[in-house]
Amino acid sequence: MKIQGRKIGKDKDKEQVGCNNNEHNKIDVEKTNFNKICWVRGDLECAPKYFPNPDYKKFKCLTPTEMFKLFFTEDVVCLLVTESHKYAEFKNIHNYFINSSEMKCFLSSLILSGYNFLPDKDFYWDTRDDMGNTVVKKCTDNAKIDKSDKFYKLRLLIEKLKANFIEHSVPEEGMNYDESMNLERKHQKWYLVIFITYQSADSGSKTDYQNVFGKAAAPFVTMLDELSDDKRNLQYSLYIDNLFTSFHLLNYFRDFGYVATGTIRDNRVPKNCPLLSTTAMIKKSRGEYHYVLNTTNGILLVRWVDNNIVSLASTKYGIQPLGEVRRYSQTQKKNIQVSRPLFVSKYNWFMGGTDLMDEKISRYWIGIRGKECW
């Protein structure tokens, strides 16, 4: 990495940071005092790094059913059968029995309801010519709940699916991490927030990671730890929003060879950083920007004036080359061209993968709520 710029602050001592690179699985995370770092008026230039092209050859000849079986393996189906029997016993339902074949038929009915819509779920078994579905018609312990785990009943299933997703995932250089809201009931004013990545799965977080990175970002760090060595050691480019971005997280990723770009909240910018405040930037015209470079940690900060003030931090992209984006001007009553720094455009290009995944999932939302399983 090459850093250029004019020094505008005094050099100060840097505290020891992060984990031991030789012992990746050992959690030894310390916060860095970012008030003791040097800032310069400079840009960030990073040499291109090699990242292997994604190889999807092993999936090319697979049918949709075979793809599904990679993740819903026989172990997963057996788990569903076992837990269904436990649930029937808990409900005092006698003479209840379901085998793996019947469970697969039930799962296929759920999937079918996601793209073959009928006014009511009972119509799937309707015998009239203009109703029913032939495929469906041919198919036929709470006292120990861990209240701290919202997914207690599904935890075993989630862990098995997560392991399968990690095993069969194909690494790509760009990885987007974001939250997904699970609205349990629309009339109730509460919901669950599930943290997911575009390419991977959600996971629990470790206490030490929570103390340093917060509850929101800790699952992402844990997920990267759980990748196999050949996938974890690749040089990923990570993209996150201001819910997760912090100097501690960017510094941690840099120590393990990852580069990251994300929007950042004003209260997470170090107090000694000479970046112009949001209040000062409001007075500037659209397209203007101000940036500073942390030479100690190689973190570039920029504030850019768009409809609102956008603050971003990056360890990969610099300001140059500048691009242009079309915006509508209320004063001129027409579209105008506005200057935009490089890593703002890169962030917009790569961010949003989880939102796209949410949209695709919502288009095939399961239309039947089955009560045969736990």
Tens digits of residue pLDDT in 174-227: 888 877 766 555 544 444 455 555 443 333 444 565 655 666 677 788 888 888
Amino acid in the structure at residue 123: F
**In whole numbers, what is the pLDDT of the chain averaged over residues?**
78
Average pLDDT over residues 80-87: 91
Q: Is the model's pLDDT at 81 over the cut of 80?
A: yes
pLDDT category, 76, cuts 50, 70, 90?
very high
CA distance 215 to 37: 26
List pLDDT tens digits, range 297-321.
888 999 998 888 889 999 888 888 8
94-120, pLDDT tens digit by residue? 888 889 988 998 888 888 888 888 888
pLDDT for the residue 72: 92
Query: What's the pLDDT score for residue 245?
Result: 85
Which range has the top average pLDDT, 21-35, 281-295, 341-355?
281-295
**If you average pLDDT over each of 72-76, 148-152, 243-247, 267-271, which comes out highest?**
72-76
Choose the weakest-confidence range: 10-14, 128-132, 234-238, 347-351: 10-14
Question: Tokens standing for 201?
Answer: 């799965």
Q: What is the pLDDT of residue 223?
A: 81
> By C-alpha distance, which of 306, 259, 318 is closest to 278?
306
Query: For position 74, what pLDDT does the model report?
Result: 93
Q: Among 12-26, 34-48, 145-159, 165-179, which stretch is predicted with the lowest mean pLDDT?
A: 12-26
Q: So what's the pLDDT on residue 77?
A: 94
Other beta carbons less than 10 A from residue 115's beta carbon: 10
Report, as an integer, the average pLDDT of 157-184. Answer: 80
Q: Other CB atoms closer than 10 Å to residue 260's CB: what's the count?
A: 24
Q: Note the pLDDT of residue 199.
A: 46
> Are 338 and 306 in contact, with CB atoms under 8 Å apart?
yes
What is residue 203's predicted lDDT score, i.e. its pLDDT? 39
**Would the pTM of this model clear 0.85, i.e. be above it?**
no
Q: What band does 333 get if pLDDT is binned at 50, 70 and 90?
A: confident
Whether pLDDT at 142 is above 70: no
Asked whether 317 and 305 are in contact (CB, 8 A), the reply is no
Tokens of 85: 């029997």
Provide the terminal-to-terminal Cα distance of the chain, rounded to the nearest Å. 53
pLDDT on residue 78: 94
- Considering only 160-169, 197-206, 264-273, which range has the smallest mean pLDDT? 197-206
